[in-house]
Amino acid sequence: MPAFKVIVVGAGPVGLVAGHCLTHAGIEFEILERRDDFDLNAGASTALWPDNVRVLDQLGLLDEARTLRIPYHSKICIRSDGSQISRSRMLAAVEELHGHPWMLFHRGELVDLLRRRLPESSTRIHTGKVVQSIQTNDKGITVTCADDTTHTGSMILGVDGVNSTIRRLIASQPTVPAAQKPSNTTPRPPPMKSSYVGLYGHSAYIPGAMEEGCFYETHARDMTFQVGVAAPTDKCYFACFKRLPHPTTAQHTFTDSEKDAFAASLADVHATTSLTFRELYARAQWSHMAYIEEGVATSPWSSDRIVLAGDAAHKMTPNAGLGLNCGIQSVVVLVNQLRWLLVQKPDSEPGEEALMGVFRAYEAERRKPAAEMVKLSATAMRAPAWRNRVWRFVDQYVLPRIGGDMLVLRYVFAMVVREGVPLDFLEERAFKEGTNGVRVVLINEFTVTGVVPV
Ligand SMILES: Cc1cc2nc3c(=O)[nH]c(=O)nc-3n(C[C@H](O)[C@H](O)[C@H](O)COP(=O)(O)OP(=O)(O)OC[C@H]3O[C@@H](n4cnc5c(N)ncnc54)[C@H](O)[C@@H]3O)c2cc1C
């Protein structure tokens, strides 16, 4: 393998998964992260669907992930007064369909796993590095950070989140390989739009107020809650989403008093059958309020030696738990193709044209499924938030009678999961296909031989 090096910008979960994939692909990399430290208490819960559980297995992380997983079996949908709309064993059924379960984690614990288990993480992850500008030339790239340090490599993977600096740099000068520095005069790509605002976090577990292993979803006009109970970790995770009067592209950091006022406006809404949000929020151990952007970057995902993945490229509403899953899938596809390029010519570094070929092929493969996941996530947000009278009626009186959640799982989510792509150069030690079948990639010494549906 040539001395090819990827500069990964952003050590969010997608950037960390990219680090693991690159390690296994034998591709050198370093990760630059804006924050000074990892806040492992931060975040609500984060679920991985079975296609990405397969990736954890390939990366050798599955055994430990199993010890961190918060097991769920049932989903209970309620109204704002706590009365039950429906109950299903949807979450248990995921494992029957796909072999692997739906694995839900405290986000901080998942990030910690990814960070801790990354080989040579202390020399490969650099915190306190706010990437500000990039210079590209025939041989590679140089990244300059706010502290005036520079880092050189062969390409950049921009996984710096929804308000991505790297996306802005790509969009501002899509084809000119010259010094690129964001400034007030640099044209910006349109930021992604938010139609909802969210308050999410975790609270102390309240014995007796919730059923263990159950995931509650409150359905009400223009709002929806999700609450997961995690007795083994003494926590419960919550996320409340409310429709904004008007969609916005504003970027705003909500203050604690704005957050508390928002929580007060939802205080009487039930988060579980017997618990109001007031009682849950009063016990919050960490919470955060943010606009919930959605969309796929309209600008190209790559330019010169720079490419995007994760929320920087595609951002979705969280109800269906697909955002990180989509980001991992993008990284898997990108690393598969990058490794294939590098193993074909092991003695020479690929030029810019060859890299752009890989980036374009990657975008061509990922743009459509990412857009579909954005759409699916949008529906998963809007349907329980009763966007119109039809949804309000269907959700309360039709879907419960026909097993709506199970149907949506079997005929919508299962299709997405089934199409999931694993790394094409690593074995799956705990391979499972469930009743739904999975995509299988044949592996031999060097060669990707294609995707074979079972
Ligand atoms: C309440 C909630 C629940 C969710 N639940 C799920 C779920 O169950 N399943 C799921 O799949 N998804 C879920 N998501 C979505 C998921 O959290 C995101 O899709 C995921 O975090 C995206 O990861 P990322 O690494 O692309 O971006 P981020 O997590 O945003 O990380 C980007 C990183 O880049 C760093 N950075 C930014 N700018 C710079 C810079 N200039 N220089 C250096 N570093 C920089 C940031 O500090 C950050 O660490 C949920 C989201 C929310 C809000």
| Domain presence at residue 135 | yes
- More confident: 244 or 207: 244
Q: pLDDT band for position 315 (50/70/90)?
A: very high
Per-residue pLDDT at 81 = 98
Q: Token match 């993977």: residue?
A: 157
- Fill in the amino acid letter for 255: T
Q: Relative to the CA of 162, which ligand 1 atom is closest?
A: 30
| Closest CA to ligand 1's atom 17 | 324
Q: pLDDT band for position 175 (50/70/90)?
A: very low
Q: Relative to the CA of 200, which ligand 1 atom is closest?
A: 1
Q: Token match 């040579």: residue?
A: 120
Residue 176 has pLDDT above 50, yes or no: no
Per-residue pLDDT at 437 = 76
Per-residue pLDDT at 120 = 94
Phi, psi of 436 (to 5 degrees): -90, -15
Pocket test for ligand 1, best of 16, 20, 46 (most atoms within 8 A of CB): 46
Residue 183 has pLDDT above 70, yes or no: no
Q: Token match 């600096």: residue?
A: 165
Residue 230 CA to ligand 1 centre (angstroms): 22
| Nearest-angstrom CA–CA distance, 122 and 298 | 35
Residue 370 has pLDDT above 60, yes or no: yes
| Domain presence at residue 153 | yes
Residue 84 CA to ligand 1 centre (angstroms): 32
| Closest CA to ligand 1's atom 9 | 321
| Domain presence at residue 14 | yes
| Closest CA to ligand 1's atom 21 | 324
* C-alpha separations of 280 from 84, 97, 261 in Å: 19, 33, 15
| Domain presence at residue 310 | yes
In contact, 347 and 3? CB cutoff 8 Å = no
Between 137-146, 165-174, 287-296, 437-446, the lowest mean confidence (pLDDT) is in 437-446
Mean pLDDT of 293-307: 95
Q: Relative to the CA of 322, which ligand 1 atom is closest?
A: 11
Per-residue pLDDT at 187 = 55
By residue range, what is the domain housing residue 179? 5-71+105-190+296-383+408-453
| Domain presence at residue 449 | yes
| Domain presence at residue 443 | yes
Of 381, 379, 374, the residue nearest 219 (C-alpha)? 381
Per-residue pLDDT tens digits for 410-429: 999 999 999 999 999 999 99
Number of domains observed in the structure of the chain = 1
Q: Which two tokens stand for residue 174?
A: 């899509």
* CATH number of the domain to which 58 belongs: 3.50.50.60
Pocket test for ligand 1, best of 259, 311, 316, 366 (most atoms within 8 A of CB): 311
Per-residue pLDDT at 232 = 59
| Closest CA to ligand 1's atom 5 | 46
Ligand 1 pocket (Cβ < 6 Å) reads: 9-15, 32-35, 44, 46-47, 129-131, 159-161, 165, 198, 200, 239, 310-311, 318, 321-325, 327
| Domain presence at residue 394 | no
Per-residue pLDDT tens digits for 62-83: 999 999 999 989 999 999 999 9
| Domain presence at residue 256 | no
Per-residue pLDDT tens digits for 376-388: 999 999 999 998 8
